[in-house]
Structure 1
Amino acid sequence: MRYTYTIGLLSALALMPANAALARTAHLQVGVGSQYDTSHVYVDPDKVDSFVSSFLGTFGGTSTKQVVVTVTPTSSSTTSQLLQTPVGSVSLFGFKTPIPYPFGAERTGYLVTDMDKAVATAQAAGASVVVEPFPDPIGRDAVIQWPGGVNMQLYWHTAKPDYAAFDKIPENRVYVSPDAAGNFVKAFLAFSQGKVVSEDKKAAGVEIGRPNDTFRRIRIDSVFGKITVLVTDGHLPFPYGHETTGYEVPDLAATLGKAKVNGAKVLVDAYSSDDREAAMVEFPGGYVAEIHANSVR
C-alpha cells in the first residue's frame, strides 16, 4: 500500500502546474533537526580506522559500532558507522566493493519525518529524484538533486532516533554556478521552509582561495541546519570545492593543533574574513573540511 500511494502521489504532482504542486506541499515540514543531518564521507576500507581516530581526536565525540552492510539499492558491501561530535556528525562508509552509481556524490543525509512526503515536497520544489526510495537495514533512503547539480540523501528510520543537539551547528558548503544559484536557493527554501540570513555579492575572495577577487555568498538557515552557497565561476584552486562541510569550533588555533597531532593536514592556514577565522584541513582518507571560529572583536 505504501508503494502504491507513493506512485499515485508523485504522478499526481507531476501532472499539476509547478505552482499548484508547490502549494500542495508547502505546508509540510518534513525536516526533523540539524542534529540528525550527517556529512557523508567515503574512504578506502584501510583508512576507516585512521579517519575515525583523527576526526574524533580533533572534534571529540563518539562512534557507533562499525557494521558491514548494504546501504545501496543494488548489491554492495561497506563498513558503516556514525561519528557524533559536538560540532557535526559523519556517516562514514568504507566500501569493500565498487561503489554503485550515483552513491559517493551525495554530500549529506537529511532525516525526514516521512519519506514519501519528503520526496514529493522536494520534487514540487524543483529537485530531481536520482535514486528513488529504497529500503536499507534500518529504514528507507532516497537521493535527490537540486538545481546546480547538488546531490543530497534523504533518510527515514524505522525506529525514531534521539540525538542530542549540536553545540555548534555545522554548515553545508555548496558551490554552484551563477546561472544556477537563484534556482538552487529558491528550490531549497521551498523544500526546507528556511530563510536567507545573509547575502554578500562581493564577499572576499580569500574565502575561495582567490584573495584578489570577490564572489557572491549566500547563507541559509532551516530546520536542516545551515547552508553556505558559494557562487563562483568554477576557477577554484585546490582544495576549494572539495569540502562539503564547514565545522564551527570555539577556538580555531586549538582545533588545528589537535588536527595536526591526530594525523590531519592543514591545507590552508588560518585566515580572517567576514567576522570569522577559517582554515582548510584534510583528514586521513582524503576528507577535506573547512573549520572556522567566530572572530572576537
Structure 2
Amino acid sequence: VIQSLTYSLSVSFVCVNFSIAYLYGIWLVGQKICSPYTVFQVIESLNTASMSIIAFATYFPEYVRARLSASLLFQMLNEKPKIDSMSTLGKPTALQGAIQFHELFFSYPNSKKNMVLKGVNIKVPAGKTVAFVGPSGCGKSTSIQLIERFYDPSIGKLLFDEEDARDLNIRHLRSHISLVGQEPTLFNYSIRDNIAYGIENPTTELVEEAARLANAHDFITKLPQGYDTVVGEKGGMLSGGQKQRIAIARAVIRNPKILLLDEATSALDTESEKVCLLFRHKFIPLIKLILTHTPPQAHNQRLFR
C-alpha cells in the first residue's frame, strides 16, 4: 500500500511539474525570451530525466534490501569460525576414548548469561557405558555437542584421554565419534549406501554385520530389493524404528571409539531395543554415551541424572 501510494504521488508530482513548466515556457515565448523550439527541447529533456528517476525509485526498496542481504552474506563469508572443522592443526594422536568433564561451565553464544552446564565433573573410562538421564533442557544434548566439539566450554575443560579437546585435531577427533539421534537423517539412496556412508570400499559382509548388530538385517532381507532398496527422501519409505536401526548400523560400521545415542532407541519396540544394544558386549573398548528421558531406556553401567 505504501509503495503504491508513493508511486502515485510521484507520478502526480511529475504531471504538476510539467503543467507548471509548460505555463512558464508559454510565458517565456510570449516575452520573446525563448523560442518555442528551445522550450520544447528543455521540457522534453526534463521529462526523460524525471521518468528515469521514477523508474529507478520503483526498485529502490528492493535495492536497499538486496544491499543489506549482500552485506550480511559477505560478512558471513568473511567471518572466521572459532572452531575450524577443516583445520590441520592439533595432535592426531591415537584415541582410546576416555572422556572427562573437568569443572565445566557452558552457555550458548546467544545467551551467555544462561549457564546450561555449571561446574560439571564427570569421568568416563574407555569401554564403559553411561547414560545421562533428565528432562528436556537439562543439558543432555549440550553435552553431546561439546563432545562432538560443535562448541568449546565457556569455562573448564573437556578432556579426551587426558588431552584437552582444543589441542586435538578436530577432524581426527570426530572420525572416532559416531552419533545417532532421535530423528536420524537418511539419504535418498539404497539401504546399503546409507549404512556404508563415509566408508571407503565397504564390503557386503561388513554392511550386513553392522545391520545384524542393529537388528536391521531381518527386515531388510524381507524387502523386495533387500539392501538395494531406495529409502526415499529423508527415509520416507521406512518406519521410524527402521530408520533408527539403519542409523545405528551406520554408526557401528565405523567401529568408533565413542558412540553417542541421543534418544536413538525411542522408536524401537522392547525386543528390538534390547537386541540393538547387545553390541555393547561385542565392542568392549567402545564408550557408549546414552541420552534419554527415562531410566528404563538406559542399558548402562553408570547413570547420571
For normalisation by structure 1, the TM-score amounts to: 0.31
For normalisation by structure 2, the TM-score amounts to: 0.31
Structure with the larger RCO, 1 or 2 (CA within 8 Å, 6+ apart): 2
Greater share of helix: 2
Greater share of strand: 1
When Rg is computed on C-alpha atoms for both structures, the one with the higher figure is: 2
